[in-house]
Structure 1
Amino acid sequence: MKLDINNIYNGFKLIEERELKEINAKGYVFEHEKNGARLIKILNDDDNKVFSIGFRTPPTDSTGLPHILEHSVLCGSRKFDTKEPFVELLKGSLNTFLNAMTFPDKTIYPVASRNEKDFFNLMDVYLDAVLYPNIYKYPEIFMQEGWYYNLESKNEELTYNGVVYNEMKGAYSSPDSLLYRNVPKTLFPNTAYRESSGGDPEVIPELTYENFIAFHKKYYHPSNSYILLYGNGDLTKELQFINDNYLKDFDRINVDSAIKTEKPFSAIKEHEFVYGISEDDSLENKTYLNLNFVVGEAKDSELYLAFEILTHLLLKTPAAPIKKALLDKGIGKAISGEFNCSIKQPIFTIIAKNCNLEQKEEFKEVVFSTFRDLVEKGINKELIEASINKTEFELREGDFEGYPKGLVYYIRMMDSWLYEGDPFSNLQYNKLFDKIKEALKTNYFEQLIEKYILNNSHSSLVVLKPEKGANEKKAAQLKEKLNSIKASLSEKELEEIIEKGKKLKERQSTPDSPEKLAVIPLLSLSDIDKKAEVLPLEVKEEDRVKILYHQLATNKIGYLNLYFNTKAVPQSLIHYIRLLSDVLGKISTSSYNYGTLSNQINIHTGGINYNPMSYSISGKQGEFNPYFIVNAKALMSNLKKAGELIAEIIKNSNFDDDKRLFQLIKEIKARIEGRLIDNGHRIALRKVLSYSSSKGAYDEELLGLSYYNFLSKLEMEFEEKKEEVISNLKNTVQCIFNKNNIIVSFSCDKEEYMNIKEVLPIILSSLGSDKVSYKQYNFNLGHKNEGLLTQGNVQYVAKGGNYLDDGYKYSGGLNILESILGFDYLWNNVRVKGGAYGVFANFRRDGGAYIVSYRDPNIKETLKVYDGVENYLNQFEADEREMSKYIIGTIRKLDHPLTNSMKGEVSASYYLSNITQDDLQKEREEVLSVEVNTIKAFAPLARDLMKQNYICVLGNEGKLKENTDVFNELKKVIE
């Protein structure tokens, strides 16, 4: 189809057409004639089509208005007048992505699907949601998603509740989140970025319904919109649908959403903030030190890409000079940072975690002196080449796990488009790389450092320090504030609050009518492929090694995975398997120091990574095989070099460098510690699974809180036990890396397979050849039922067990049970009514099963909901349409698109788990044949599972201590 510039197509005027060679696409820029809506179509052969509409939404305060609105518009609209069309789509769409996101200055609503009919359905629901939401009809939506006074009777204490309120209480429980929230405040005191678009829990209750509505009226208009269409869809049909059903009804208006530019500071500004720790915690090594620099404008595409590379170079590798300088000086245990380019004036950030307050000046001096040295002496050219190659490999590979490509491109486009820049500039990176690669012969990056860091006074130094009892103090102040508010209310006002709460609960408890639900567009079961996808797998043998070959069009990239069975490792050394995966490639070898090694990996490969993993063996209850996986990817021309680097790392890593080893242990522990609260649901569910199965116990030791505790002990005792630690790592290496203990997985084009014959002997030459003796593991299972104490403000509540122990069997119908519970019973009772941010159920093939909540204000109330699953299933009813919806939504999960690297990994995991194509087909047929009675029949399974009574909750120390009868033991998470 040929389009002409300035012609109008279904209400849209074509402004520009451009070849986008880097992503094998053509870009079209349109403007809606009537209302000025901006629309870009990226046309290529990708069948995973993406639609997104975004609005520029600069906040004027920290009430979280943009965030609350993002949640709320998806709670029903003019055409789709149900309580939550978003959830109905999650239940019954083939979408490959469905979400909404609040940024500091914009809100976007992306959807994706490979099915054309489904794609148009998703566009219809989302456009109606953002342009005609039910927030004008039902104030209860604002209460539910934002905040409200929670009071069921006049005798109760007044409290706050609301999904976003609880979400942000959880988010700001983490010092890392608190730091990132405060950084823009220090740099942009006069622009929208000083505010929290997500919402500060202390400020959220200041938001009024009137301001909430006014914000939507102002910003959610096509004249303020940025629309993306991506993929192989019919452009004419898409434009016609958007225009005829929505945009033709809006006239052009002037929306003042422009974001001010902050004037540069005359000097660096210093700020201090606090976060809470327990009264009996030590203040030592708990301060965060942070430097920030405002770097040009986001629409400067060369600077944008150059600083992405520079950030990697300075902070992201073992050879990174800023990271190395700080760690060598003992300033912090973990050094991190980022280049935040999704705002008008991007920020380059350096963070040192686990410092002490008195190190502030030294931190600043080390950073600036290191930058001066880099400018004066020059940056190592090999390090520059490594960081350029790493960034370029990732952009060209285009495997963005979790996000469809179209969404990743949209976000990169918006980083310029939103600020009146060229929308395609961040996608057309060939010329940018050509220019940046001049840095291999010039002082390109040194000049950037000089201009944007050393001579840049638009910067801030932020200290985030611990304060004992700060959270308890805030909680007491909040309680006092709410008591004061309640005392100031008249009897009539109290009754009004109670009545509003009743009205909200009535709305939450009243099911949508079948007539309203029928309006939500739904695919037919005939749209579903009855056959399970066959992932490529051919079992071969080379050099007496089993090769799992996956024939895929990988664009000259080879994906090489080495699976080493770790059952030769004694049970006492299991933690060392994970430690080994965390230090390999980051310590020196016989041929390279660790900095040079990192550069060699990034120059010649797309990455070499190490991961411990365990696989249940299908058909053998309670049995599992643990593996140590080496993942490598490289262009075929570099595959041999990748093999040489793997062999060098396996055979010649220097564990005797105790100084480097100790530095890494501190860094790994600090990094995990920073994520503990945000990953509370994973910690809790792993604990629950560890109480009831050997695989669960093994996984918990490697991936759960046990590993963090192991690192904490290692750090504390390292000086007296370092020889033992080094010896244990060496023994673990001997147990794992053996040519009698390896399976290889290789993904590539058919004509490239021969490369494995060249690289395999190199790897095998680094391995031992002794006879492998596998060990028997015996774990202490049972009802540990731990309460894990944190200074967080919310809970993560898990309960589960193993249904095979009660004589039940796995069936595909359990996938639908997950969907029904997750999007109906649990969603309505734990999220909608309880105020938790999320909740989900999982039933695994090996019998492991759990329900877990995320950022939950409750404990016992949530456990009571879990225990009610049996009763819910006994009474479960659904018409044919509703069951079809659940089946389609479950098939969506089974058919989620996989990248090339993922296809090889998933196929190999099936093989290692003894899951055949017949098993996958049987599972699919069981999903497709589920009926109401199938779901009802799971009631006894749910009853017996909950009766096993394996419970773990991670959450607020005070809250858990109020509920001690739930637990056998209370433990502090962070010592």
Structure 2
Amino acid sequence: MSISTKKQQAEQAAAKYGFTVEKRRELTELKAILWEMCYEKNGARVLWLEREEENQTFAAAFKTIPCDDTGVFHILEHSVLCGSEKYPVSKPFVELIKSSLQTFINAFTFPDKTVYPVSSRNRQDFLNLMDVYLDAVLHPLCVSKEEIFRQEGWHYELTEGAEELTLNGVVYNEMKGVYASPDTLIDSELNKRLFPDNCYRFQSGGAPEAIPQLSYEQYTAAHRKFYHPSNAWFILDGDVDIEAVLEKIGGAVSGYDRQETDAGIPMQSPVSPGIQRITYEIGEGEDGVSRMLLAKGWVYGRFDEPEKVLACRALGQMLCSSNDAPLKKALLENGLAADVEFSERGSILQPCAFLVVRNTTPEKEKEVWDTVQRTLEELAEGGLEHERLKAVLQRMRFMEKEKEAGGFTPGISNVLKMLDSCLYGGDPAQQLCLEQPVSDLIHKVEEGYFEKFIRENLLENNHCASVALEPSAMVGKENRERERRRLEEVKKGWTDREKEQVIQELVRLRQKQMTPDAGEKLATLPTLSLSDIPEERDTIPQIVKEMEGRKVLYHPLETEGIVHIAYYFSLEDMTPEELHALTFLQTLLGQTETEHFDTLSLQAELDANLGRFQTGTDVFDVKGNLNLCNPYFAVYVSVLQEKLEDAVRMTDEVLNHSVFHNSSYIYNRIRQFAISMENHVLMYGDSYGSMQAAAGFSAPGAAKEAMRGISMLRWLKQKEKNFAEEGEELVQELERLCRRVFVKARVTLSVTGHISGQWTSKLLSVLPDGKAPGQRPEYALSGPAKRGLLIPAQIGFAVKGGHLGMLGAKRNGAMLVAAKILSYGYLWDNIRIRGGAYGTRLSVSQTGEVMFTSFRDPDAAASLNVYDGAGAALRKLCESGEKIERYLISAVASIEPLLSLRQKGMQAAENYLAGVTEGMRQKEKKEILHTTKEELEQASILLDKICAEAAVCVLAGAEALDAAHILPDERESL
């Protein structure tokens, strides 16, 4: 279809369904056309980024302005997806996941907006998702069914004969988990002090102590006020059927007249409130010495100043991206901190910059701030290295050209970028096209732009605030005791009749939660059929060649002049201790000095010439032998074709000439890695628990745990503690491992894009020949074990699992279908809906690990018991008359995620390394599509056996570990 025909059809569709096209313009940088439309009757706005992209994206977004810390919009975000007038099922969000090929489905609460995005590559699926989301946000059942609010927000729990009154609710428990992180406290406190007069002072997600103050009346009023088409943006991305889409949006909003919604955000006038002192929780057995955190925030601009936002982002890299960056170096070398971070906080009306100084002491506080002031003064007076700054900006320009979107699909990323400006009355294209602003900044480096930025926006900025966080082993216990007393007082204030009413309200809530949706209600949801799903999986082109005795994997995809290179070095003969050291080495390469470059000049070279230089690790199994595995150390390089010579030169420099003789640098990196991992465990304990459990059953599990799990954290802490005695030995080990690992005899090379054989040979030539891997170590596997990890948090994580190989079984399509059925059925209903945990799932890994997990869970012990009933629940479904086709569709979606071109090359290469052939990939999809109830019953028996002989790992506070029967000798502190 010609461009003019598509334009005419879109304009006709807009007019047909009540929309006015206000603007249409070409965005050459994106090869896209941006349409801006308005629904005349009520002012609902539509943005469409029309581009040749099969993954179609839709989002409904509302400007939502909190007026307190109760988290009303976060609770609404959860609640509107619990049924609507047109689709009156209890959990349409989950039902969609069961029966859709969606590539993204979720919802987000931001400080000033709530966004409901979905995407799919299947046209009918996309329209189905749109239809459900439109009805969900405009006509949710939650505004007439209070039990939805109680389930997702908060409710009292009191049972007959019980003495103790407790609180529960999905968002309530989620935010208790979020507030376990001191970083959340930093953000919350700085925002309160920087924005005392507008909505940013409030915690839009909800503060745990404030959530129970929210009444149902306030909640429904918030929906009436803000969830109206006059306050809505409907945003589209990709090659959508615009007539079908506008028909759906127009139909959804046609019944609404225009409504004035007071959703304005006043600009915050500059304030300088000084420093706020608070405490944060550490474990009772933990050492609080040198654990003070200091932070400062500056409000430096407006949403419509993208150049300033980009400049601030670049300055963050300049000031603190490495230990030799000037601001971080000034604090580290004087022993004033263990780590320093500088970040830009955008996506709001007035962007901020935050500086966080980790692990200092009260005695050093003044010196910390004096050093920050002095260093910034020196930099503002001409101390910035301009070539390094230009290099940082060159890397940013490459990332804009590459258009990778991090954890989002490109369509979702585009939606959020448009909202970053249009929400405040700005140009929706502002954040979409940033290559030119970055180029402009490169030219301004020599004009003193960045020195002026430091002077005006950091040193002389009178819109700033500071916070100091002191560690406390008692604050968590005090908070819990305060909550217990508050609930005790609430209960004391009730009459017998009121107590009985609370008891009966809980009974009614449980009854509603335990009542399955009627078949006729489920039938209202639009679904795909199996006939809509192709039998064959898409293939990623991969040509396997041999060059200089090594395998080279070519992926001839059209990457618009970018070449993605990956070196995979076999670690199959490495011991767990060596894997620890290699994981640490991964954090150093490209960050530490080399024979020819100091740290900053190395980073300047990498940034100026390469789009990406990253490292990573992965582990694959050895088919048929649980005691053996194939770990790999990966080096990823992305570069423009004209810069391939620089890719060869700099890969050689980093892999063959890195030096580690700076002992203070190595020591600081160990401390920083340990701090980062500790914070990560608090947020993602389910992942660490899974690695702990898997380590007892297979060599791949043990190797992953050694590289990424709690044992890696233990190794870091031990090296930090004993560095004076063991530091030199560690340095020698790192140097030895570099010489041993980065050799041609260990490598498999992957190339995505277009490249000649001559360049491939050059990429291999940087590696010395070296020796092939020696004998693999056999891992001593402990089998099922019960472990508890004490963490300073009011919420926990529960893991139970095993390995199919222990039962003589393998992963197959039926097991993947079973995982979907249970994750979004039995587990969801019992652990999330009734138990109040934020999340739960059953996963089956490529290597055969089967793991039940819960996430931000108020009752880990109950979840462990729920897992044991999974097999029986699966059999019950098989014995019922329920059809399983929708679960098959969902399982297909899980094995066919949306990938960028670079990720496609990586996926094909990793399949090759894992021994996953194209035939195996196709076979797995066919197994899924043809799964029978008989096969699911067989899977249920395997799940029974796994639970009977499972490993258990619970990460929680002492009371939760007691309840889960984790004995004192089975637990350890973080």
Whole-angstrom distance in 1 between the partners of 2:153 and 2:734: 50
The 5 A counterparts of 1:182-201 are 182-201=189-208
Answer yes or no: is 1:310 the counterpart of 2:311.
no
State which of 13, 26, 30 in structure 2 corresponds to 1:19. 26
Encode CA deviations 1:642-662: one digit per residue, 9 max, x unaligned. Answer: 221111111111112212111
Matching residue's letter, 2:829? N
Task: Decide whether the 8 Å contact of 1:840 with 1:851 is kept in 2.
Answer: yes
Equivalences, count: 967
In the TM superposition, residue 317 of structure 1 has moved relative to its aligned partner by 4.2
Q: Which residue of 2 aligns with 1:757?
A: 760
Q: Which residue of 1 aligns with 2:733?
A: 728
Encode CA deviations 1:739-783: one digit per residue, 9 max, x unaligned. Answer: 21111111113xx3335335324422xx25245423323324234
Task: Decide whether the 8 Å contact of 1:784 with 1:968 is kept in 2.
Answer: no
The 5 A counterparts of 1:814-833 are 814-833=815-834
Q: Which residue of 2 aligns with 1:927?
A: 928
In the TM superposition, residue 620 of structure 1 has moved relative to its aligned partner by 4.7
Q: Which residue of 2 aligns with 1:567?
A: 572
The 5 A counterparts of 1:105-124 are 105-124=112-131
In the TM superposition, residue 237 of structure 1 has moved relative to its aligned partner by 2.6
RMSD: 1.8
Answer yes or no: is 1:159 the counterpart of 2:166.
yes
Answer yes or no: is 1:398 the counterpart of 2:425.
no
Task: Decide whether the 8 Å contact of 1:621 with 1:846 is kept in 2.
Answer: no
Matching residue's letter, 1:716? K
Q: Which residue of 2 aligns with 1:868?
A: 869
State which of 50, 54, 58 in structure 2 corresponds to 1:47. 54
Q: Which residue of 2 aligns with 1:409?
A: 414
The 5 A counterparts of 1:14-163 are 14-163=21-170
Task: Decide whether the 8 Å contact of 1:636 with 1:755 is kept in 2.
Answer: no
Q: Which residue of 2 aligns with 1:649?
A: 654
Judged with a 3 Å threshold, the aligned counterparts in structure 2 of structure 1 residues 354 and 437 are, in CA distance, closer, same or farther, namely: same
Judged with a 3 Å threshold, the aligned counterparts in structure 2 of structure 1 residues 930 and 13 are, in CA distance, closer, same or farther, namely: same
Whole-angstrom distance in 2 between the partners of 1:807 and 1:916: 21
Please say which of residues 144-153 and 396-405 is displaced more in the overlay: 396-405
Task: Decide whether the 8 Å contact of 2:156 with 2:166 is kept in 1.
Answer: yes
Task: Decide whether the 8 Å contact of 1:686 with 1:700 is kept in 2.
Answer: yes
In the TM superposition, residue 59 of structure 1 has moved relative to its aligned partner by 0.6
Tell me the TM-score normalised to structure 2 length.
Answer: 0.97
Matching residue's letter, 1:33? E
Whole-angstrom distance in 2 between the partners of 1:305 and 1:577: 34
Matched residue SS, 2:696? helix
Matched residue SS, 1:74? coil
Q: Which residue of 2 aligns with 1:719?
A: 724
Q: Which residue of 1 aligns with 2:511?
A: 506
Q: Which residue of 2 aligns with 1:914?
A: 915
Judged with a 3 Å threshold, the aligned counterparts in structure 2 of structure 1 residues 761 and 499 are, in CA distance, closer, same or farther, namely: closer
Matched residue SS, 1:323? helix
Structure 2: gaps spanning 5 or more residues: 1-5
Judged with a 3 Å threshold, the aligned counterparts in structure 2 of structure 1 residues 241 and 278 are, in CA distance, closer, same or farther, namely: closer
Encode CA deviations 1:898-922: one digit per residue, 9 max, x unaligned. Answer: 1111111111111111111111111
Please say which of residues 648-657 and 316-325 is displaced more in the overlay: 316-325
Answer yes or no: is 1:174 the counterpart of 2:181.
yes
Encode CA deviations 1:305-345: one digit per residue, 9 max, x unaligned. Answer: 22222223323345532222222222221222321111111
Please say which of residues 136-145 and 9-18 is displaced more in the overlay: 9-18
Judged with a 3 Å threshold, the aligned counterparts in structure 2 of structure 1 residues 862 and 966 are, in CA distance, closer, same or farther, namely: farther
Task: Decide whether the 8 Å contact of 1:271 with 1:462 is kept in 2.
Answer: yes
Encode CA deviations 1:174-225: one digit per residue, 9 max, x unaligned. Answer: 1122212222111011111111110000111000000000000000000001
Task: Decide whether the 8 Å contact of 1:640 with 1:758 is kept in 2.
Answer: no
Q: Which residue of 1 aligns with 2:640?
A: 635
Whole-angstrom distance in 2 between the partners of 1:962 and 1:582: 38
In the TM superposition, residue 27 of structure 1 has moved relative to its aligned partner by 0.4
Tell me the TM-score normalised to structure 1 length.
Answer: 0.97
Task: Decide whether the 8 Å contact of 1:876 with 1:935 is kept in 2.
Answer: no
Encode CA deviations 1:276-314: one digit per residue, 9 max, x unaligned. Answer: 223443221211111110011112222222222222332
Please say which of residues 634-643 and 832-841 is displaced more in the overlay: 634-643
Matched residue SS, 1:529? coil
Whole-angstrom distance in 1 between the partners of 2:968 and 2:120: 44
In the TM superposition, residue 447 of structure 1 has moved relative to its aligned partner by 1.3
Matching residue's letter, 2:657? N
State which of 253, 256, 271 in structure 2 corresponds to 1:250. 256
Matched residue SS, 1:229? strand
Task: Decide whether the 8 Å contact of 1:168 with 1:201 is kept in 2.
Answer: yes
The 5 A counterparts of 1:643-792 are 643-749=648-754, 752-754=755-757, 756-757=759-760, 759-764=762-767, 767-770=768-771, 772-792=773-793
Encode CA deviations 1:217-274: one digit per residue, 9 max, x unaligned. Answer: 000000001110110112233112210x211111101000111211112x45211121
Answer yes or no: is 1:593 the counterpart of 2:598.
yes
Task: Decide whether the 8 Å contact of 1:694 with 1:781 is kept in 2.
Answer: no
State which of 454, 470, 475 in structure 2 corresponds to 1:470. 475
In the TM superposition, residue 613 of structure 1 has moved relative to its aligned partner by 1.5
Judged with a 3 Å threshold, the aligned counterparts in structure 2 of structure 1 residues 657 and 778 are, in CA distance, closer, same or farther, namely: same
In the TM superposition, residue 623 of structure 1 has moved relative to its aligned partner by 3.3
In the TM superposition, residue 806 of structure 1 has moved relative to its aligned partner by 1.8
Judged with a 3 Å threshold, the aligned counterparts in structure 2 of structure 1 residues 2 and 911 are, in CA distance, closer, same or farther, namely: closer
In the TM superposition, residue 878 of structure 1 has moved relative to its aligned partner by 7.6
Whole-angstrom distance in 2 between the partners of 1:770 and 1:875: 56
Answer yes or no: is 1:347 the counterpart of 2:316.
no
Answer yes or no: is 1:216 the counterpart of 2:223.
yes
In the TM superposition, residue 163 of structure 1 has moved relative to its aligned partner by 0.2
Whole-angstrom distance in 2 between the partners of 1:879 and 1:957: 41
Encode CA deviations 1:714-760: one digit per residue, 9 max, x unaligned. Answer: 111101111111122122223212221111111113xx333533532
Q: Which residue of 1 aligns with 2:266?
A: 260
Q: Which residue of 2 aligns with 1:238?
A: 245
Matching residue's letter, 1:384? L
Matched residue SS, 2:647? helix
Task: Decide whether the 8 Å contact of 2:746 with 2:772 is kept in 1.
Answer: no
Whole-angstrom distance in 2 between the partners of 1:212 and 1:120: 29
Whole-angstrom distance in 2 between the partners of 1:878 and 1:291: 60
Judged with a 3 Å threshold, the aligned counterparts in structure 2 of structure 1 residues 206 and 512 are, in CA distance, closer, same or farther, namely: same
Whole-angstrom distance in 2 between the partners of 1:659 and 1:951: 39
Judged with a 3 Å threshold, the aligned counterparts in structure 2 of structure 1 residues 707 and 621 are, in CA distance, closer, same or farther, namely: closer
Whole-angstrom distance in 1 between the partners of 2:573 and 2:645: 29
Matched residue SS, 1:373? helix
In the TM superposition, residue 891 of structure 1 has moved relative to its aligned partner by 0.9
Calculate percent identity across the aligned residue pairs: 33
Matched residue SS, 2:296? strand
Whole-angstrom distance in 1 between the partners of 2:689 and 2:908: 29
In the TM superposition, residue 542 of structure 1 has moved relative to its aligned partner by 1.9
Task: Decide whether the 8 Å contact of 2:785 with 2:950 is kept in 1.
Answer: no
4+ runs deviating over 6 angstroms: 4-7, 878-881
Matching residue's letter, 2:38? E
In the TM superposition, residue 9 of structure 1 has moved relative to its aligned partner by 5.0
Whole-angstrom distance in 2 between the partners of 1:320 and 1:226: 41
Whole-angstrom distance in 1 between the partners of 2:256 and 2:586: 57
The 5 A counterparts of 1:798-809 are 798-809=799-810
Whole-angstrom distance in 1 between the partners of 2:774 and 2:327: 45
Judged with a 3 Å threshold, the aligned counterparts in structure 2 of structure 1 residues 136 and 568 are, in CA distance, closer, same or farther, namely: closer
Please say which of residues 587-596 and 398-407 is displaced more in the overlay: 398-407
Whole-angstrom distance in 2 between the partners of 1:226 and 1:299: 19
In the TM superposition, residue 162 of structure 1 has moved relative to its aligned partner by 0.3
Matched residue SS, 1:876? helix
Judged with a 3 Å threshold, the aligned counterparts in structure 2 of structure 1 residues 277 and 402 are, in CA distance, closer, same or farther, namely: closer
Please say which of residues 563-572 and 166-175 is displaced more in the overlay: 563-572
Task: Decide whether the 8 Å contact of 1:589 with 1:648 is kept in 2.
Answer: yes
